[in-house]
Structure formats: structure tokens, C-alpha cells
């Protein structure tokens, strides 16, 4: 298990979700799973050389929300408005290209894409073997495909 933080900021929920989808792809290609949260709020940063200082009430809320989820997923806070075009993207480009799904009464960043969709379960299995204490957290990722996708509708 490895714990670190990646901060992605932006003015577009759709673009932030797409950036996180790309991060999911990279993480899974390296047998890692991620979890996190998308929140909105004030944000301030100051850079000095290779150092950056961040102050953000949204970051504090995101950390609290991410802890409450309990599975490797990136969830959206309830107060984050999702523009219609993000939902419509599902119908225009297909389910694997839509950046956001609904899962267990939460909006989450879609961890699937067409390149590794069929290998998701095979990537989750070794992680559960390596870290048996986290098996319950990874079981949702191994959910049979039809059941997981049905929960998105």
C-alpha cells in the first residue's frame, strides 16, 4: 500500500473527470488503484521554485469525503454540479468514454475505458492477493460487468 496525494484543479468538472480517468488508466497499468474526491471551493496556491503552498477548503472537504467512501473510487461531492453535456457524453460516445457514472447512490469518475475494461477483474485479483486485508475494498471493482454497468443507469 502506498499513500500520497495528487491535486488536480480546474474550472470544468468534465475536464477534471477526464484527467482522473487518464490517471486511473496509468494507475491500473501499474497495478495500483486510486481513491479520492472532487469538491468545489476556494483555492489558493503560491509557487517558489520547486515548492508549492496550497490552501483550499475544497481540499479539506475532499480528504474527508474520500475517507468516507471505503472503496477505490473517485467520488464527486453532492454539491458539485454536473453539466448536462457530461451526462449526454454517455449517449454520444458510449459508456466507456463517459467521464462520470453513478454507483451506489454516488457520482464517481468512470474508472473504465475501452483499452483495459475487460482486464479490470484480472488486475484487481492480484492486488487482493498481495493485500488480503484490503480485499473487501477491491471486491466492488471485480463486480460482474453487467451488474456494475446497470448500477450506472
Residue-wise pLDDT tens digits, 72-116: 889 999 999 988 877 776 666 566 667 888 877 889 888 876 665
Exposure on the CB side of residue 141, measured as CA atoms within 13 A: 33
Alpha carbons 140 and 29: distance in angstroms, whole number: 18
- pTM (predicted TM-score): 0.75
Distances (CA, A) of 36 to 29, 44, 74, 87, 119: 18, 20, 4, 21, 22
Q: How confident is the model at residue 18 (pLDDT cuts 50, 70, 90)?
A: confident
Q: Residue 1: inside a domain, yes or no?
A: no
Alpha carbons 76 and 120: distance in angstroms, whole number: 22
Q: Residue 75: inside a domain, yes or no?
A: yes
Number of domains in the chain: 1
Q: Residue 5: inside a domain, yes or no?
A: no
Task: Evaluate if residue 61 carries a pLDDT over 70.
Answer: yes
Amino acid at each position: 500500500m502506498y499513500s500520497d496525494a495528487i491535486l488536480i484543479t480546474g474550472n470544468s468538472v468534465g475536464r477534471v473527470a477526464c484527467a482522473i480517468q487518464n490517471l486511473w488508466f496509468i494507475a491500473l497499468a501499474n497495478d495500483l488503484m486510486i481513491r479520492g474526491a472532487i469538491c468545489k471551493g476556494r483555492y489558493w496556491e503560491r509557487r517558489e521554485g520547486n515548492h508549492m503552498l496550497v490552501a483550499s477548503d475544497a481540499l479539506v472537504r475532499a480528504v474527508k469525503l474520500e475517507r468516507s467512501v471505503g472503496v477505490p473510487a473517485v467520488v464527486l461531492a453532492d454539491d458539485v454540479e454536473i453539466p448536462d453535456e457530461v451526462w449526454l457524453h454517455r449517449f454520444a460516445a458510449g459508456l466507456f468514454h463517459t467521464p462520470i457514472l453513478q454507483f451506489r447512490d454516488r457520482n464517481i469518475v468512470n474508472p473504465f475505458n475501452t483499452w483495459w475494461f475487460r482486464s479490470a477483474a484480472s488486475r484487481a485479483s492480484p492486488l487482493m492477493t498481495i493485500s488480503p486485508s484490503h480485499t473487501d475494498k477491491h471486491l466492488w471493482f471485480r463486480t460482474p460487468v453487467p451488474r456494475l454497468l446497470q448500477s450506472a443507469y
